[in-house]
Amino acid sequence: MQEIAGDGDNHEIQGQDALLIAGALQKAILSSVNFSSIATDAQGVIQIYNVGAERMLGYSAADIVNKITPADISDPQEVIARAKALTDELDTPIAPGFEALVFKASRGIEDIYELTYIRKDGSHFPAVVSVTALRDNQESIIDT
């Protein structure tokens, strides 16, 4: 461990080390070919699409990022069914599309569900989807 010259307080160095470790962990996750990571902005447009997602779905990041929402590569009938089920469950109208995929998570409710993605070649891929809204210290959703 290094010590800062002057007051001997090493909290700044520890904080920097923690940030480096967190950054390395994020890079490892996003670079993994074994795990798909797809992140959107608040409007649902995909902003992060890792190599695992490329491998799973057959689209390159250039095909996807800043162009479409996850609903665009999901089985449309399942997205409609999810919107209807959530509308019934939560007694509030939920539109099919991106909103149906993130409705619970955007309200702080843990959400894990099954969804069929459609690969670039047209084949279908069943996936377990875990949706988390990234929040700042004030609990506001972070827009990537």
Least confident of 6-20, 30-44, 75-89, 106-120: 6-20
With cut-offs at 50, 70 and 90, classify the pLDDT of residue 99.
Answer: very high
Has residue 136 been placed in a domain?
Answer: no
pTM here?
A: 0.73
In a domain, 4, yes or no: no
- 46's enclosing H/E stretch is strand 46-49
H runs (alpha helix) in 1-144: 11-31, 51-57, 61-64, 76-90, 98-106
Number of domain units in the chain: 1
- Would residue 92 count as lying in a domain? yes
CA distance 132 to 129: 10
Residue 17 CB neighbours (<10 A): 13
State yes or no: pLDDT of 14 exceeds 70.
Answer: no
Structural domain contains residue 124: yes
Q: Does residue 54 lie in a domain region?
A: yes
Question: For residue 62, is it within any domain?
Answer: yes
pLDDT tens digits along 31-52: 666 778 888 888 889 988 999 9
Structural domain boundaries enclosing 70: 11-131
Residue 138 included in any domain: no
Residue 46 belongs to a domain with what CATH number?
A: 3.30.450.20
Predicted pLDDT at 19: 67
Mean pLDDT throughout 9-16?
Answer: 58
In a domain, 16, yes or no: yes
